[in-house]
A and B are shown apart, each in its own frame.
Chain A
Amino acid sequence: GESVGLHLPTLSVQEGDNSIINCAYSNSASDYFIWYKQESGKGPQFIIDIRSNMDKRQGQRVTVLLNKTVKHLSLQIAATQPGDSAVYFCAESNTGNQFYFGTGTSLTVIP
C-alpha cells in the first residue's frame, strides 16, 4: 500500500534562516507530489507541486526537490518568516485525484 512518511515531526528555525522539510514516499509509481501548509483552524493550503518528470521546481521563496532514486521529497523555504509557522504535509498520487498524505511536520519560526 501507499505510505508517505515525514522524517521529523517538528522543526524549529530562526526567523530569516532557510527551512528544509523532508518527506519519504514508498510508491515508486507515484508521479505527482504536492506540498501543503496547514495553519491552525484552517484547511490545508496548496504551496507547490511537482511531477515525476522533474527534479526541482521553484516558487516564491519555496523550492521542491524530488529524488526518485531514493523516493524522497523536500520542501525548502527561504528566509523563513513567522507567518510560515504551520504544519506542512507532503502528498503523493499515482491515481489521479486520490492523494496519500504524510502525518505532517510542524514548523515553528523563532523571532
Chain B
Amino acid sequence: KAGVTQTPRYLIKTRGQQVTLSCSPISGHRSVSWYQQTPGQGLQFLFEYFSETQRNKGNFPGRFSGRQFSNSRSEMNVSTLELGDSALYLCASSLGPGVDGYTFGSGTRLTVV
C-alpha cells in the first residue's frame, strides 16, 4: 500500500510569506504528526492530530499551525516565514495514538530566502 505522501517535495519561499504543506497518511492511519528537522538538530515535534483534533503541540510559535481533515489528511501552515524556518518538514502517521511506531514521509524541504 502507498506510504505517507508529502507535497510538495521542495519549496522556496521569501521571508514574510506563508506556506502550506500537505501530508496524506497511509490508508487507515488516523494519527498524523509533524516534525521539523534542521541541520545539527534532531527532529523537533510540531504537533499531532487525531480525528481532526490536535492532541499535542510542541514548543513552536503560533506562526506554525496545522489541521486535519475528515479523511485524515493533514496540512501545516507557517505564516510570516523567517530564514530560520528553513528545514525539512516531516510528517508521520500511525493507526492511532499510542499505537506502536510511526511511518514517516520523505518530507518537504522548505528554503526561506
Contacts and interface: CB of A to CB of B under 8 A. Distances in A.
| Chain A: interface size category | 20 to 34
A99 B44 CA distance: 9
A97 B33 contact: yes
A83 interface: no
Given A43-B90, A43-B106, A96 B98 contact: yes
- Identify which of A49, A89, A99 gathers the most chain B CB atoms within 10 Å of its CB: A99
Q: Is the interface of A mostly helix, strand, loop or mixed?
A: strand
Interface residues of B, number: 29
Contacts, number: 62
Contacts of A43: 4, 90, 92, 104-107
B56 A42 contact: no
A46 B42 contact: no
A101 interface: yes
A96 B101 CA distance: 10
A89 B42 CA distance: 8
B45 A98 contact: yes
B102 A98 contact: no
A101 B104 contact: no
Contact of B31 (A4, A45, A97, A100): A97
Interface in B40-89: 40-45, 48, 50, 55-56
A88 B19 CA distance: 29
A46 B101 contact: yes
Contact of A95 (B4, B56, B99, B100): B56
Interface of A: 4, 32, 34, 36, 41-46, 49, 89, 91, 95-104
29 contacts: A32-B100, A34-B101, A42-B106, A43-B105, A43-B107, A44-B90, A44-B92, A44-B104, A45-B104, A46-B101, A49-B100, A49-B101, A89-B43, A91-B43, A96-B55, A97-B31, A97-B48, A97-B55, A97-B94, A97-B97, A97-B102, A98-B45, A99-B45, A101-B42, A101-B43, A102-B42, A103-B40, A103-B41, A103-B42
